C-alpha cells in the first residue's frame, strides 16, 4: 500500500476523540475543525490498521480457503455466503463478484434460510459465514441446519476462540487491530479487511480458472466492459437502406438530401458493384462551396471526394473502430465498412458508437 505523508506535529489521534454533550453552538463550532489535517490523520490511522491486517494475515489459512473454493466449485458446488448487518453486505458483494467470474455462488440470508431458503443448500455446497466477533446469533442458529444439509462450513472471523469458528469445518482468522471508530465499535475497519480478503481471493480464483477477457465480458454484456470486449463493428453499423450512397458522376447539389437525411454527415461514393471509390462529407461541401462559389452547381461528387478514406471491416471490434476514428493526423466522425472485395456493406459513426455505450 502506498505511503501517506509523514505525520505532522499536530497529529490528532482519532481514537482519543470523545463524545461530550454539547450545545448546538458548540457543535457548529466543532464541525469547522474537520479540516484537511484531521481527514489526513484519519486516513493514516486507517492505513495503519490495514497494514496490521496485511502483516499478520495467516497465508496458509487463506490458501486453504482458496483451494477449498476452487476445488468445490470445479466439482459443481455452489459457494454460498452469509452474514448479518455490515458483514452481510460484504458477504453479498463477494458472492456477486464470484458470479461475475463465472463461479456459481449466492447469498443466503440467515433469517430467510431458517424459513425455507436453506432448501437451496446441498451436501456438495460450501457455506462461508462472515462475522467479526464470531458470536452472531443468527449465524450460530443457522450452523446446525446447514450441517444437516451436509454443506461444508467455513467461518471468517476476527476474534480468537469464538463460538462460530468452533462449530465450523474451517476458520479463517482476519487480524483486526481495532476499528477506526474512536469507540472501537462502528465496523469500518473490520468490513474493509473483509472486503479486501474476499475480493483478493476472488481474483486468485479468477487466475486459477484462467478466465479470459472474452469469458469475463460474456458475463457483463450490458456493461461498458462487456461492450468493449464483445461488440463488433457489424453489431453497431448502419447498413442497406440506411447507407448514404451515391455515384461519382452525381452532381453535388443533387445529393444534398442524401448527404443530410441519413444522419451520417457524409456520402459514400460507390460504383455499380458497390466498390468504395471515396467519401464526401458535409465539411467537404462547405469547403467546396467556399472555394468554388456558383461553380459548385456543375461539380460532381467524384471530382471533390476523398479517394483514400479510412475504412474498417465488419468483424473488427467496435472499440477499435472508435480508436481508428480518433487516430492522428485528424479525427473523423465515421468509417465506411467494407468486405474483402472493397465493397461497401455498412458505415459506423462516432455517434452510433457513443449511443451504444462505447
Looking at residue 25, its pLDDT comes to 46
- Asked if residue 122 belongs to a domain, the reply is yes
Query: Whole-angstrom Cα distance, residue 264 to residue 347?
Result: 8
The domain boundary residue, chosen from 178, 211, 244: 211
3-state secondary structure 282-293: HHHHHHHHHHHH
Residues in the chain: 358
Which one is predicted more confidently, 255 or 3? 255
Q: Are strands 334-338 and 344-349 parallel, antiparallel or unpaired?
A: antiparallel
- Asked if residue 252 belongs to a domain, the reply is yes
Query: Whole-angstrom Cα distance, residue 310 to residue 251?
Result: 23
End-to-end CA gap in the chain: 32
In a shared domain, residues 143 and 287: no
Looking at residue 20, its pLDDT comes to 45
- Asked if residue 309 belongs to a domain, the reply is yes
Q: What is the mean pLDDT of residues 108-132?
A: 96
In a shared domain, residues 122 and 238: no
Q: What angle do CA 143, 194, 54 make, to 5 degrees?
A: 130
- Asked if residue 339 belongs to a domain, the reply is yes
C-alpha to C-alpha distances, 302 to 132, 287, 294, 298, 338, nearest whole angstrom: 74, 15, 18, 12, 19
In a shared domain, residues 55 and 93: yes
Residue 155's Cβ-count burial label (10 Å; 0-12, 13-18, 19+) is buried
Name the domain count of the chain.
Answer: 2
Q: Per-residue DSSP letters for 220-257?
A: -TTSHHHHHHH-BHHHH-B-GGG--EEETTSBGGGGHH
Contact 96, 80 (CB under 8 A): no
User: Mean pLDDT for the chain?
Assistant: 90
In a shared domain, residues 95 and 151: yes
Characterize 208-226 residue by residue with b for buried, 16 or more Cβ atoms within 10 angstroms of its Cβ, and e for exposed: eeebeeeebbeeeeeeeeb
In a shared domain, residues 178 and 74: yes
- 86 is in which domain, residue-wise? 40-211
Looking at residue 213, its pLDDT comes to 81
Model confidence, pTM: 0.68
The domain boundary residue, chosen from 211, 241, 257: 211
In a shared domain, residues 206 and 238: no
- Asked if residue 222 belongs to a domain, the reply is no
In CATH, what number is assigned to the domain containing residue 242? 3.10.580.10
In CATH, what number is assigned to the domain containing residue 131? 3.40.50.10490
Q: What is the mean pLDDT of residues 62-71?
A: 98
- Encode pLDDT of 83-95 as tens digits: 999 999 999 999 9
In a shared domain, residues 177 and 317: no
Looking at residue 357, its pLDDT comes to 79
In a shared domain, residues 197 and 294: no
In a shared domain, residues 237 and 182: no
Which residues are CB-contacts of 323 (< 8 A; sequence separation ≥ 6)?
Answer: none
- Asked if residue 156 belongs to a domain, the reply is yes
SS3 280: strand
Q: What is the mean pLDDT of residues 42-68?
A: 98
pLDDT band at 21 (very low <50, low <70, confident <90, very high): very low
**Nearest-CA neighbor of 174 among 125, 128, 241, 143?**
128
In a shared domain, residues 50 and 159: yes
In a shared domain, residues 278 and 183: no
In a shared domain, residues 150 and 278: no
The DSSP bridge partners found for residue 151 are: none
- Asked if residue 194 belongs to a domain, the reply is yes
Q: What is the mean pLDDT of residues 209-216?
A: 86
Which residues are CB-contacts of 248 (< 8 A; sequence separation ≥ 6)?
Answer: 269, 271, 277, 278, 300, 301, 302, 305
Q: What are phi and psi of 322, to 5 degrees?
A: -65, -45
Contact 182, 50 (CB under 8 A): no
The domain boundary residue, chosen from 211, 242, 272: 211
- Asked if residue 269 belongs to a domain, the reply is yes
Amino acid at each position: 500500500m502506498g505511503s501517506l505523508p509523514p505525520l505532522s506535529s499536530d497529529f490528532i489521534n482519532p481514537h482519543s476523540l470523545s463524545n461530550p454533550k454539547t450545545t448546538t453552538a458548540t457543535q457548529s463550532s466543532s464541525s469547522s475543525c474537520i479540516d484537511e489535517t484531521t481527514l489526513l490523520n484519519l486516513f493514516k490511522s486507517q492505513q495503519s490498521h490495514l497494514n496490521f491486517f496485511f502483516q499478520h494475515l495467516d497465508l496458509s489459512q487463506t490458501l486453504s480457503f482458496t483451494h477449498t473454493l476452487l476445488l468445490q466449485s470445479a466439482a459443481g458446488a455452489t459457494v454460498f455466503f452469509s452474514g448479518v448487518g455490515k458483514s452481510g453486505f460484504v458477504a453479498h458483494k463477494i458472492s456477486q463478484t464470484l458470479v461475475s467470474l463465472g463461479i456459481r455462488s449466492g447469498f443466503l440470508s440467515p433469517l430467510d434460510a431458517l424459513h425455507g431458503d436453506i432448501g437451496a443448500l446441498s451436501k456438495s455446497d460450501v457455506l462461508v459465514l462472515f462475522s467479526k466477533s464470531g458470536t452472531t446469533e443468527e449465524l450460530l442458529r443457522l450452523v446446525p441446519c446447514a450441517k444437516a444439509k451436509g454443506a461444508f462450513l467455513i467461518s471468517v472471523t476476527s476474534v480468537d476462540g469464538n463460538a462460530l469458528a468452533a462449530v465450523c469445518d474451517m476458520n479463517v482468522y482476519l487480524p483486526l487491530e481495532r476499528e477506526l471508530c474512536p469507540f472501537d465499535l462502528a465496523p469500518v475497519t473490520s468490513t474493509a479487511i473483509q472486503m479486501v480478503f474476499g475480493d483478493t481471493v476472488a481474483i486468485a480464483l479468477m487466475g486459477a480458472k484462467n478466465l479470459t477477457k472474452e469469458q469475463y465480458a460474456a458475463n457483463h454484456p450490458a456493461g461498458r466492459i462487456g461492450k468493449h470486449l464483445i461488440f463488433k463493428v457489424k453489431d453497431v453499423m448502419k447498413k442497406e437502406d440506411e447507407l448514404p450512397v451515391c455515384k461519382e458522376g452525381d452532381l453535388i447539389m443533387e445529393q444534398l438530401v442524401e448527404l443530410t437525411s441519413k444522419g451520417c454527415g457524409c456520402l459514400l461514393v460507390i460504383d455499380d458493384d458497390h466498390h468504395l471509390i471515396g467519401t464526401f462529407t458535409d465539411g467537404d461541401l462547405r469547403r467546396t462551396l467556399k472555394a468554388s462559389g456558383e461553380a459548385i452547381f456543375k461539380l460532381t461528387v467524384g471530382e471533390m471526394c476523398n479517394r483514400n478514406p479510412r475504412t474498417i471491416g465488419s468483424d473488427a471490434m467496435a472499440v477499435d473502430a472508435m480508436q481508428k476514428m480518433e487516430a492522428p493526423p485528424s479525427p473523423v466522425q465515421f468509417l465506411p465498412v467494407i468486405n474483402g472485395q472493397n465493397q461497401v456493406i455498412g458505415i459506423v459513426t462516432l455517434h452510433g458508437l457513443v449511443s451504444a455505450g462505447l
